[in-house]
Amino acid sequence: MPRYTPTDYDAYDEAYEDDYFEGPVSSKPKPKKRLDPTMPGVVVRALGHHYEVETDDGIRLCRVRGRLLQERRRDTTLVAVGDRVEIVPEGKKKGQIDSVAERESVLSRQRPFTNHPSEDVILANPDQVLIVFAATDPDPHTRMLDRFLIIAESNELPAIVCVNKIDLTGLEGARAIFSVYEELGYPLLYASVTEGRGLHELHDLLEDRLTVVSGPSGVGKSALINALHPGLDLRVGELRDFEGKGLHTTRGAQLIRLPFGKETYIADTPGIRELGLYEIAPGSLAFFFVEMKPFIHDCRFPNCTHTHEPSCAVRAAVESGAINAERYESYLRVLDGGDLQLEEW
């Protein structure tokens, strides 16, 4: 029996069947589903169930679109300060958050009062942390600095240490206190608002980055930022102090745009307790002291706490001077939980 060969008539019949089953043929194209126009923005502040979003045409007060609420994940915050979003404009001052871009980094803690892993994102997409201390007035407590460096390391964020008020001690006096951090590889910036020192370097470090700014009360955080941009006119003490009161305070982060570079923001964040230092597992703590990491795997026991175990490579490094003794003491204090009470410092 000869093999059947398709003809042009078959092609015509198939096209006819397609038109038949799809419905009557029309010369008018089918209307496409209209998509709401969106515009990009950055969440700069959270206000309950609403968010202030900075867009090219100003700040808009936005709520989250219902569809996005239905798609929310249980293991992380749906919308956080610092998120890059697409919004559907409503009038001139409002809008709806339609989508949230994937986060490149976070400053977060474990969400309190939950039995399953759930990330509470305090700040989305930070590029770095700027920790401001004074050379004196108030006297610097380097163990407090160590605690914030632990937070930065645990969130995998680069940290910069800025020592302000060096006009009161001189450069050498400030270096005598803080040079150990420079030796550890942290960028160290010595500054004086009074003398205008270090401001150009600080400008360059902040430009086109989202920077978390923190430090103790009275060290001159607001004064430093005002010196970079006097028109901002931050009140003294307006940037949040380092000390947060209570384990589960609800104060949120806020972004402040600086008018140099295309994407230059500083982030005012809650205190250190809000960031959850108390949540770091004791077995992980040593990994957040950068000088200890090279020695950890040389310890005799894999679960070594570096406090009393025999053949501990970390303790041997302390004894030989490879690890600074004061930093090791700081590690022991955090491990013991003693420095979680900030008032004791």
- pLDDT score, position 12: 36
Is 213 inside any structural domain? yes
The predicted pLDDT at position 216 comes to 87
pLDDT digits (tens, 9 = 90+) for 266-280: 998 765 555 556 567
Please, are residues 85 and 101 in contact by the beta-carbon 8 Å criterion?
yes
Output the DSSP codes for 193-229: TTTTBTHHHHHHHHTTSEEEEE--TTS-HHHHHHHH-
pLDDT for the residue numbered 17? 37
- Same domain, yes or no, for 129 and 195? yes
CB atoms within 10 A of CB 96: 19
What are the tokens at 300?
A: 């005799």
Are 254 and 151 within one domain? Answer: yes
- The answer to whether the bond into 126 is cis (omega within 30° of 0) is no
Confidence of residue 74 (pLDDT cuts 50, 70, 90): confident
Domain tally, the chain: 3
The single residue listed with the structure tokens 């270090």 is: 198
pLDDT, residue 23, reads 44
On the question of pLDDT at 82 being above 50, the answer is yes
Amino acid at 153: E
Q: Residue 292: is its pLDDT beyond 80?
A: yes
| Per-residue model confidence as pLDDT tens digits over 14-31 | 433 343 334 444 455 555
Residues 77, 173 share a domain: no
What is the distance between the alpha carbons of residues 255 and 9, in angstroms, rounded to a whole number?
Answer: 68
pLDDT at 10 over 90: no
Does residue 337 sit within a domain? yes
Residue 124 has which token pair? 């989305």
> Please, what is the average pLDDT of the chain?
83
Q: Taking residues 35-61, what's their average pLDDT?
A: 92
Amino acid identity, position 288: F
Query: Are 237 and 320 in the same domain?
Result: no
Which range of residues forms the domain containing residue 338?
280-344
pLDDT tens digits along 91-110: 999 999 999 999 999 988 77
Least confident piece of the model among 174-183, 220-229, 324-333 = 220-229
